[in-house]
């Protein structure tokens, strides 16, 4: 947990007793070494560090830790593995004061860009530490090890974060024995001596994790997955309320990132939470009071709709380079006026969206919906209509599957596109139901069904996305013409893209029959039966 060549300890002293404990540590070391303070030694003095990660902890989940060590001017970015093994380092001359933090080019960025894109890096913890260094000398007066005593104050940067308790905390002082190259023995000896001092315990966490803990957070405390705490025996209304509360948490924790326009994924996650909420209200709302489900159906539809324009533009802009690379007759540069047009539109739509999210209607949804759900969660078990959660899970999931099987079976190569669009919606609903109740299912059976369903969804998604995008390209072309923002070359290039989209839509249509047969045919039905009935 400490850097290689270091052995770390934490002083478990009561405040005010630290000095005594530190003296006891030095006295223990004096048995084997001459102990002298080393003012101005490398590693002594004040360090200012900021740990960075994406909002959804992509670096942490990949086993990486990124810190920025501030110097008088600029500083250094240090990327390491969770155990402290260095991975990459990069000097930074200037640092933006506010997120989004897009890294300047360099080895650290090269290493992490694949993981983090399109997410921005945000500060997770800031730490100011003051270290003093003591040299441990052998009989020749040679420094054979060092003791670094570190006092760390940590601060939570102001940013969207769930369950954020304190904003500043003092960590228990830390002692670390650092090895001098070629002298492993003395460092071991010093560590052994420290281990015998009462009140010193081996540091089990690095500063980063200790800092998060002190601030009442833990790493990976945001995830867009459903993962509600439900059990099979729980009354269905309680389970559904828990599910919806979890979705509301996710939704709300993304609002600030959307308002500050930190990166596109805040809005994406917010929209997924809205869609899941709508599906849950539609499919499971029967266990909620009637008027409640009815009212919020409309409210969440409104919320979904106000977020759509920005997301559509995000999708265009995120895929822009890949799309531009595909044009053959035209040059990718021909499309730049389209990019500029999209960016202008997006800026306008973001303002509009921010207005909605700051407005009373959204506030009312968030507050009243939560209040209603909390009440159901806490009193739901007393209600009259109360099947167990598992009963609700099995009946709704089975019904959703049968609907897809029936509806998909009627689709022929001549069916209208609308029939595939409709099937896509049903498939999405089934997917959400599976995810909602995932904790109640057998994991192996669950993975099999979800795997098949995902294949089918991808195919239906390709089909519909191509059609929607094609329609959008032509409406964008009209809008650009109306605003006199469309050179002929750009329109031609857009025509090429529309043609490509038509081809991939035709391809998705060809693949549909096979994917559907795999999902809803006899083998697929058997997989669903195993999932729902629990017997192979």
257 alpha-carbon distance from chain centroid = 12
Residues that bind another protein (CB under 8 A): 41-42, 135, 140-143, 180-183
- Residue 94 beta carbon to another protein: minimum distance, rounded to whole angstroms: 22
| Long-range CB contact pairs, 346-354, < 8 A, 24+ | 346/310, 346/313, 346/314, 346/317, 349/309, 349/310, 349/313, 350/261, 350/310, 352/306, 352/309, 353/258, 353/267, 353/306, 353/307, 353/309, 353/310, 354/258, 354/259
- Residue 43 beta carbon to another protein: minimum distance, rounded to whole angstroms: 9
- Residue 143 beta carbon to another protein: minimum distance, rounded to whole angstroms: 4
Left if phi > 0, otherwise alpha if psi is -120 to 50, otherwise beta: which for 254?
alpha
Structure token digits, residue 127: 């730490």
Helices 264-284 and 290-318: crossing angle in degrees, nearest 10, is 150
- Residue 141 beta carbon to another protein: minimum distance, rounded to whole angstroms: 5
Structure token digits, residue 320: 């822009």
- When the beta carbons of 188 and 428 are compared against another protein, the nearer one is 188
- Residue 306 beta carbon to another protein: minimum distance, rounded to whole angstroms: 56
- When the beta carbons of 140 and 291 are compared against another protein, the nearer one is 140
- When the beta carbons of 38 and 472 are compared against another protein, the nearer one is 38
Dihedral over alpha carbons 306, 310, 312, 313 (to 10 degrees): 160
Q: How many whole angstroms separate alpha carbon 514 and alpha carbon 455? A: 10
Taken as a whole, the chain contains a residue count of 536
- When the beta carbons of 142 and 399 are compared against another protein, the nearer one is 142
Q: How many whole angstroms separate alpha carbon 277 and alpha carbon 285? A: 10
- Residue 145 beta carbon to another protein: minimum distance, rounded to whole angstroms: 10
- When the beta carbons of 135 and 316 are compared against another protein, the nearer one is 135
Q: Are strands 6-11 and 174-179 parallel, antiparallel or unpaired?
A: antiparallel
- Residue 130 beta carbon to another protein: minimum distance, rounded to whole angstroms: 19
- When the beta carbons of 41 and 317 are compared against another protein, the nearer one is 41
- When the beta carbons of 181 and 535 are compared against another protein, the nearer one is 181
> CA end-to-end span of the chain, whole Å?
45
């Amino acid at each position: 947990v400490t850097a290689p060549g270091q052995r770390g300890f934490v002083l478990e002293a009561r405040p005010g007793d630290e000095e005594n404990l530190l003296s006891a540590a030095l006295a223990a070391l004096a048995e084997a070494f001459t102990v002298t303070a080393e003012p101005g030694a490398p590693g002594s003095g004040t360090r200012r560090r900021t740990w960075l990660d994406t909002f959804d902890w992509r670096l942490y989940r990949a086993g990486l830790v990124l810190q920025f060590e501030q110097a008088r001017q600029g500083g250094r970015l240090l990327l390491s593995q969770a155990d402290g093994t260095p991975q990459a380092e990069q000097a930074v001359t200037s640092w933006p004061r506010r997120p989004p933090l897009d890294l300047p080019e360099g080895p650290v960025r090269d290493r992490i860009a694949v993981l983090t894109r399109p997410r921005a890096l945000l500060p997770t913890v800031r730490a100011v530490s003051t270290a003093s260094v003591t040299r441990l000398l052998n009989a020749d007066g040679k420094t054979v090890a060092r003791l670094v005593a570190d006092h760390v104050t940590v601060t939570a940067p102001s940013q969207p974060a769930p369950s954020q308790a304190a904003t500043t905390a003092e960590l228990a002082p830390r002692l670390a024995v650092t090895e001098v190259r070629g002298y492993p023995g003395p460092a071991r000896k010093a560590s052994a001596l420290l281990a015998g001092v009462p009140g010193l315990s081996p540091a089990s966490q690095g500063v980063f994790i200790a800092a998060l803990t002190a601030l009442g957070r833990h790493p990976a405390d945001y995830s867009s997955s459903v993962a509600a705490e439900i059990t099979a025996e729980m009354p269905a209304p309680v389970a559904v309320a828990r599910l919806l509360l979890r979705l509301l948490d996710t939704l709300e924790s993304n609002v600030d990132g959307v308002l500050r326009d930190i990166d596109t994924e805040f809005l994406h996650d917010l929209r997924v939470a809205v869609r899941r909420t709508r599906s849950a209200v539609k499919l499971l709302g029967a266990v909620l009071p009637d008027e409640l489900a009815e009212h919020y159906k409309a409210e969440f539809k409104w919320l979904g709709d106000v977020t759509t324009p920005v997301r559509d533009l995000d999708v265009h802009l995120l895929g822009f380079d890949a799309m531009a690379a595909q044009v053959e007759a035209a040059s990718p540069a021909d499309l730049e006026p389209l990019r500029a047009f999209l960016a202008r539109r997006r800026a306008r739509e973001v303002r509009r969206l921010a207005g909605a999210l700051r407005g009373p209607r959204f506030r009312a949804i968030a507050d009243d919906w939560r209040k209603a759900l909390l009440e159901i969660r806490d009193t739901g078990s007393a209600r009259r209509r109360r099947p167990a959660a598992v009963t609700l899970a099995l009946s709704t999931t089975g019904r959703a599957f049968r609907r897809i099987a029936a509806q998909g079976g009627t689709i022929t190569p001549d069916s209208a596109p609308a029939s595939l669009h409709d099937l896509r919606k049903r498939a999405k609903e089934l997917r959400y139901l599976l995810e909602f109740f995932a904790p109640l299912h057998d994991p192996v059976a669950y993975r099999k069904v979800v795997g098949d369903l995902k294949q089918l969804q991808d195919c239906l998604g390709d089909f519909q996305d191509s059609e929607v995008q094609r329609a959008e390209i032509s409406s964008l072309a009209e809008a650009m013409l109306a605003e006199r923002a469309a050179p002929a070359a750009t329109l031609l290039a857009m025509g090429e893209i529309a043609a490509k989209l038509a081809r991939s839509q035709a391809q998705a249509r060809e693949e549909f029959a096979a994917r559907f047969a795999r999902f809803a045919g006899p083998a697929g039905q058997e997989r669903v039966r195993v999932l729902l009935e629990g017997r192979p």
